[in-house]
Structure 1
Amino acid sequence: MTLDPDHALFVAILDSGSIAATARASGTSPAMVSKRLARLEARLGVRLIERTTRRLHPTPVGTQLHADLKQILAALAAAEARVTGAASAPAGPLRIAAPTSFARLHIAPHLGDFLRLYPAVALELTLSDGYVDLAAGRIDCAIRITADPPAGYVARRLAGNRRVVCASPAYLAAHGVPTSPAALAGHRLLAAEGQLPWTLLRPARRAVVEGVSHVRTDSSEIVRELALAGVGIALRSLWDVGKALADGRLVRVLPEWEGAHDLAIHALHAAQPRPAVSAFIDFLADRLSPPPWEPLDTSVG
């Protein structure tokens, strides 16, 4: 594939989120930008961007092309920098997306140190428990807790994601302590939408816990707060409830069982990230190695 100016223009449109903004940055008119985008779509024979009155949305093929072109453009920029000796210090905009609870507990406390190390970086942090589309959201790096990182990006593993069954002492005193995964069926389970059923593992054994959450919510933070308040039993990540387990506000239930081990914490980015992106990922990997929530061995007495 030959890279032409229309490719770079297409990337700029999605990065800026606006044809008008792209036109201003390129010193041309919105009409000309629209014409060149239409020309690229006609040449490729596919629709790359859906236009609405409020914003632009890349189509699935547009998302993939944007990711591929970003890698190519980044590689070209890096090659030119090596030839010309251009400065490679981390600088410029850095857009990070991360899960709300994880960012609050394990990213935000370190951002001051990161910005003191790299004062030329302009940081933007987007928090969501859902998966943000990197291309549509113009995200440079996404922190995701997943077993299956998406294709088209580099996924760097930052830490594992051990999950344990836990509840407050008050809940267990009132409702009893379950002694098997099957016994959980008689208890109030707590989970955000899409997080049930639970798969629990112990050496050479596997159990699936079916059910519905006693309280419906789309927020993992609410699930943790409900567990702390004695509302029910939850399956939570150690990074989320480690402190509460350590100080006794929560205790482990079925301590010989844990959630399935397929999930891990990853940083997703383009194949040729800008220096600011690499600096942030290296910085966060250092802060999470070893994971500050490990080791932990707090169980029901």
Structure 2
Amino acid sequence: MTNIADLEIFARVVSAGSLSGAGRELGLSPAVVSKRLRKLEDRLGTRLLQRTTRQVALTEAGQGFYERVVAIIAGIEEAESYVTRRSTQPRGTLKISAPTSFARMHIAPHLGAFMRENADLSINLVLTDEFVDIVGEGFDLAIRIAELSDSSLVARRLAPVERVLVAAPTYLAANGTPQSIEDLDRHVCLAQHNNEAWRLEGPQGPFVYRAEGPLQTNSSEVLREAAIAGIGIALRSTWDIGEEIASGRLQRVLPDFSASRNVAIHAVYPSRRFLPAKVRLFIDYLAALYGPVPYWETGGRANMTAPATAADPVHKPNGFAGDAATPGIADG
């Protein structure tokens, strides 16, 4: 089969009117251009060009061949343009996995603005607190709130996560406000699993507290509502209870202590090469929406028309195995 590059050289020689002119356009010497033309003619068994040192002229066979070669090259360019347009214009369906509570609070309310700006794009948002197999289950990206480990996947940090101790004013009025970590022993601590380890960072460094209480549940949202209802003290992410702190429905307890784990909100996807426009655009949108100081940290609300601008650079995750990351904080 004829080399496509040889066809392009032939077409460039005809359009430039000389071997040297074609060589300049292609970055090749006249000798190389001449050699490639001879190879093409030998393969076809016919002369395509009558050439002198200064100019070339098509033979009868060359004329017919040139017309067909131009059509072939145009077809290749059109095919490349079609693929390029698809990779640079957001279209099709974007399939996303995200933690249930976080998606309900900080993704779903902003989908309308994003979809109005990208009318050719459909969203399939799957809410789960499990770490899905992104590649195997056909997801374009996943939102992760956890410490990540090494994998073939790529992660981009979207926002920091801070976890703080909180309680309702009614609980503190009835039971007093703890002044030290040791005081927690005399309080109701709301933990998702009984004897859950709260890994905290305080003035004297890291500290592990075993949280125990009368309420047991596998639901992070139940713990959130229990804290608001005044049942006890809970360790919650600020993205989960930022509005409650701002409104006074919850108050920080032991404000010098917060969770010490290196957790952040990440967008995770299979590859940084040939990243589809729909994936890149959505990640940029969330990064601009949240920012280095997310709106839930300041008690404000997101700008619903946040521009799609770049935030933190892309990096390989630290803490991934396939898509089964080290279990982290998926829901608060």
TM-score bracket for the superposition, by shorter chain length = 0.5 to 0.7
Q: For structure 1, which runs of at least 5 residues remain unmatched after alignment?
A: 1-79, 297-301
Q: Relative to structure 2, which stretch is displaced further, 205-214 or 281-290? A: 205-214
CA distance in 2, matches of 1:194, 1:81: 58
Secondary structure, counterpart of 1:174 in structure 2:
helix
Q: 2:284 aligns with which of 282, 292, 299?
A: 282
Q: Which residue of 1 aligns with 2:248?
A: 248
Secondary structure, counterpart of 1:277 in structure 2:
helix
Deviation for aligned residue 1:256: 1.1
Matched, 1:226 2:226: yes
Residues 125 and 240 (structure 1 numbering): CA distance in 2 closer, same or farther, change over 3 Å? same
Deviation for aligned residue 1:180: 1.3
Matched, 1:164 2:167: no
> Identity of aligned pairs, percent?
43
Q: Which residue of 1 aligns with 2:128?
A: 128
Q: What are the within-5 Å matches in structure 2 for residues 110-121 of structure 1?
A: 110-121=110-121
CA distance in 2, matches of 1:231, 1:216: 12
Secondary structure, counterpart of 1:182 in structure 2:
helix
Cα RMSD, aligned residues only: 2.1
Q: Which residue of 1 aligns with 2:85?
A: 86
Secondary structure, counterpart of 1:215 in structure 2:
coil
Residues 129 and 85 (structure 1 numbering): CA distance in 2 closer, same or farther, change over 3 Å? closer
Deviation for aligned residue 1:167: 0.5
Q: Which residue of 1 aligns with 2:178?
A: 178
Residues 219 and 82 (structure 1 numbering): CA distance in 2 closer, same or farther, change over 3 Å? farther
Secondary structure, counterpart of 2:218 in structure 1:
coil
Q: Which residue of 1 aligns with 2:264?
A: 264
Matched, 1:142 2:142: yes
Residues 136 and 174 (structure 1 numbering): CA distance in 2 closer, same or farther, change over 3 Å? farther
What is the aligned length? 217
Deviation for aligned residue 1:81: 4.9
CA distance in 2, matches of 1:295, 1:184: 27
Q: TM-score, normalised by structure 1?
A: 0.67
Q: Which residue of 1 aligns with 2:317?
A: none
Give CA-to-partner distance per residue, 1:146-183, whole Å, 9 cap, x none: 11245121110001001110000111122221111122
CA distance in 1, matches of 2:175, 2:212: 18
- Which amino acid in structure 1 is aligned with residue 222 of structure 2? I
User: Rg larger in 1 or in 2?
Assistant: 2
Residues 81 and 161 (structure 1 numbering): CA distance in 2 closer, same or farther, change over 3 Å? farther
CA distance in 2, matches of 1:195, 1:93: 43
Secondary structure, counterpart of 1:293 in structure 2:
helix
CA distance in 2, matches of 1:241, 1:210: 22
Secondary structure, counterpart of 2:243 in structure 1:
helix
Matched-pair contact (CA < 8 Å) for 1:185–1:209: no
Matched-pair contact (CA < 8 Å) for 1:95–1:126: yes
Residues 84 and 184 (structure 1 numbering): CA distance in 2 closer, same or farther, change over 3 Å? closer
CA distance in 1, matches of 2:214, 2:99: 23
Give CA-to-partner distance per residue, 1:134-153, whole Å, 9 cap, x none: 23432211111111245121
Matched-pair contact (CA < 8 Å) for 2:161–2:265: yes
Q: Which residue of 2 aligns with 1:26?
A: none
Q: Which residue of 2 aligns with 1:291?
A: 294
Q: Which residue of 2 aligns with 1:64?
A: none
- Which amino acid in structure 1 is aligned with residue 289 of structure 2? R
Deviation for aligned residue 1:195: 9.2
CA distance in 2, matches of 1:194, 1:121: 44
Deviation for aligned residue 1:188: 1.5
Q: Which residue of 2 aligns with 1:103?
A: 103
Deviation for aligned residue 1:200: 1.2
Secondary structure, counterpart of 1:210 in structure 2:
strand
